[in-house]
Amino acid sequence: MTHVRFREFLSNRSAPFVIVLGTNEIASAVAARLTLEGCRVVLSHDPYPPVIRRGMAFHDALFSDRAEVDGIQGRRGETVLEIVQALTVTGVVAVTSLQLTDLIALRTPDVLIDARMQKRSMTTNLRNIANLSIGLGPQFAAGLNCDVAIETHPDHAGELVETGETRPNDHIPRYLGGVGRGRFVYSARDGVWRTPLDIGARIFKDYLIGLLDGHRVLSPMDGFLRGIARDGVVVPQNVKLVEVDPRGRASNWTGSDEHGRAIADAAYRVIAKTRRRCWARTITETYH
């Protein structure tokens, strides 16, 4: 049965094979939408920056925990066969720690999407790895390091950039419940993060959330944990470690949000447009 699934995966070109770099909430919103549209999607984890909005992401599937976004299930795959088994199940995305070089050996992807949101590091050149490459967020330039870029800035989320660069990171978090940067806790140092708390926990101002490299980390306000790095992860300095949702009963920490869905919709539009163009070219070449 495993070999049958593997042959079917290699031969079936009607369902686009999509590799998404990242397991954060943006990568997961994109993966969920594309899976609903019939794509076969695998998420490749990158450890930097750490994922904190884990209730909105497939990230925890890496640890064999339940991970669901918008009705789509995340399933861990640490071998080629495990990934193929996940991809041949309807409504499932594969989540892996295998890197891009390992995954392209499985099959050349139809689409490669970089959703790692690495705002401070050099951006990989995605072109010529897949039939279509899409870069999400800052530091992408269409025609230079990707084929098409998509804005992730809160005021422009989902805008397509088909020529030129995306907007630079302005380091200004969007407001939630009237609070911007103040709802986040940033790591003050490198170290191992230890916490007994999980997504959705109710906390109060100055509540002890956990220890980073042995140093106490306190809540900046009352609310619910919308984001928190997983216990035991190694955290670099000056990245988001905790996010508090201050909206009381309106708080939400699961599933995609409007921001993620706007970006996911844009990614699907790009893929659908490219597929129509390729289909039309095939028809033209066939009859001429």
Q: Which pLDDT does position 119 carry in this prediction? A: 62
Q: Which pLDDT does position 172 carry in this prediction? A: 85
* Interior/surface letters 49-86, b for 16+ CB within 10 angstroms, e for the rest: bbbbbbbbbbbbbbeeeebbbbebbbbbbeebebbbbb
Pairing relation of β-strands 160-161 and 148-150? antiparallel
DSSP state of 122: P
Question: DSSP secondary structure string, 80-100?
Answer: HHHHHHHHTSTTEEEEES--H
Q: Is the peptide bond before 49 cis (omega within 30 degrees of 0)?
A: yes
Q: Which pLDDT does position 169 carry in this prediction? A: 86
Q: Which pLDDT does position 117 carry in this prediction? A: 87
Could you name the CATH architecture of 181-246?
A: Beta Barrel (2.40)
Q: Which pLDDT does position 233 carry in this prediction? A: 95
Question: Do residues 203 and 227 make contact, with C-beta atoms less than 8 angstroms apart?
Answer: no
d(CA 98, CA 124): 17
Where exactly are the structural domains of the chain? 2-170+257-287, 181-246
Q: Which pLDDT does position 275 carry in this prediction? A: 80
Series of mean pLDDT values for 10-residue runs along the chain (288 residues): 58 82 97 96 93 97 95 95 92 96 90 86 79 94 94 94 91 90 96 97 97 97 98 95 96 95 97 75 42
CATH 3.40.50, domain 2-170+257-287, yes or no: yes
d(CA 41, CA 90): 11
